[in-house]
Chain A
Amino acid sequence: MAVFKITREAVETIYAHAGRDAPREACGMLGGTGLTATIAYPTNNADTSALTYSIDPQEAFSVIKQMRSDGVDFMAAYHSHPATEAYPSPTDKAKAGDSDLVYLIVSLRFPDQPEPRAYRMFADQVEELGIEIIDA
């Protein structure tokens, strides 16, 4: 099983973002290299919803330019599941079009213990990756 690595600082940024936005879904983008994410870029959930999320393309383009400036690649996207497990919903799968991207889902069903899980998704196929939190 391939392993998705993420720095502690990046994952803590995601947990804080997800907790702050709960009960709405939080979402954002991750920069890094290969399968290692080093910087989290929180974005707005354009849906402002507890059930769905979307990242406004103009905000996403802006983040990608910031990533280039920071010297990292856009290699993953994240979102939270405020009350359900960290497994892709049918909607998550249907809308995941980039087979190169890692999709990180963080469940807050146990708010004191956020549960991150990472996947590759394409054409309704789901491949779970291992996950390792690293100290940069």
Chain B
Amino acid sequence: MIEVQINGETEEIEPGTTVSSILERKDVRPEMVAVEINGELVQKGKYLTLTLHSGDEMEFLHYMAGGHPQA
């Protein structure tokens, strides 16, 4: 197991765990969130293949957007 930070909390994960599998574990739809690892935004196309390493700091948050009724 390796230790990473996810949204500020320390978690242990299996080596080779991908961004996508972490989002799935958190019951989060990948298309609804932005992801940052060690301060760098991650392109959505990399969620399935990018793996976390010991000490990585991953953040994710839901997009905040909208518009009024005429939008």
B68 touches A89 (CB 8 A): yes
Closest to B27 in A: A99
A97 touches B33 (CB 8 A): yes
Chain A CB within 10 Å, residue with most, of B59, B64, B70: B64
Chain B, interface residues (CB within 8 Å), range: 10 to 19
What's the tally of chain A residues with a CB closer than 8 Å to chain B? Answer: 33
B8 touches A52 (CB 8 A): no
Closest to B29 in A: A97
Closest to A45 in B: B65
A positions within 8 Å CB-CB of B: 25, 27, 29, 47, 49, 51-55, 57-58, 60-61, 64, 68, 74, 77, 79, 81-84, 88-92, 95-98, 101
